[in-house]
Amino acid sequence: MSLKHTYTLIAPFYDAAIERATRAARKHSLSRLPEKAGKVLLAGIGTGLDLPHLPAQHDYVGIDLNQAMLRRALPRAGQVDFVPVLGDSQSLPFADASFDAAVLHLILAVVPEPTSCLREIARILKPGGHVLIFDKFLRPGQHAPLRRLANPILRRLATRLDVVFEDTLSQTPALRLIHDQPALAGGWFRLIQLHRAE
């Protein structure tokens, strides 16, 4: 079963499973969006759990592979300028340097190729743009045998458990790390901010 079909099935239950647990971390991450109005990509927007916490001055585009998730996101947009797009975060249907910022909440550890996703984000960002990431990552050299054991099954159904963020970032030289802090589950989930080279 593909991720697209899996998330169609779990869309009705997704919010109940993760909304409360991730709310504070999402809000903290989104508080780092630039104050100056711009165009912001919400990659892998899912059911739109970020939408109620977004500052109103930006124009937002939310992309997701799953139509069922996007349908659930729309009512959450409220007063923000929001356009939903059906598409793949690993092959974004946007022009180079067309966004001022990008939000990647719980997407890099879901897509099959996180490096492709991050490279696409670097491509569509304007020089000087920012990336906000909230996700679960292994640390370099971390063994995590139970996570690695469960990964072959879970990566096909919902999420990867073996993504090492530093490895992904090292293959995206246009992006520079400027902030990294633990968020949930003893630091398994992290809040990360990147900057696109000028």
| Pairwise CA distance, residues 119 & 130, whole Å | 13
Percent of the chain, pLDDT > 70? 81
Identify the sign of the CA torsion 47, 138, 4, 195: positive
Query: Does 16 score more than 90 pLDDT?
Result: no
| Distances in whole angstroms, Cα of residue 167 to Cα of each of 36, 114, 174 | 31, 10, 14
Query: Does 168 score more than 70 pLDDT?
Result: yes
Query: Does 79 score more than 90 pLDDT?
Result: no
- State the residue range of the domain holding 111: 3-196
Mean pLDDT of 43-70: 94
Cβ burial, residue 111 (10 Å; 0-12/13-18/19+): buried
- Where is pLDDT greater, at 11 or 52? 52
pLDDT-derived band at 153 (thresholds 50, 70, 90) equals: very low
Is residue 166 left, alpha or beta, with left meaning phi > 0 and alpha meaning psi from -120 to 50? alpha
Max mean pLDDT among 59-63, 71-75, 108-112, 182-186 falls in 59-63
- What's the total number of domains in the chain? 1
Rounded to an integer, what is the distance from CA 112 to the centroid of its chain?
A: 13
pLDDT-derived band at 15 (thresholds 50, 70, 90) equals: confident
Percent of the chain, pLDDT > 90? 62
pTM: 0.85
> Where residue 130 sits, what CATH number does that domain have?
3.40.50.150
pLDDT-derived band at 10 (thresholds 50, 70, 90) equals: low
Query: Residue 152: phi, psi to the nearest 5?
Result: -55, -30
Task: Please write the tens of the pLDDT for every residue from 98-138.
Answer: 999 999 999 998 898 999 999 999 999 999 999 999 999 98
| Pairwise CA distance, residues 181 & 133, whole Å | 11
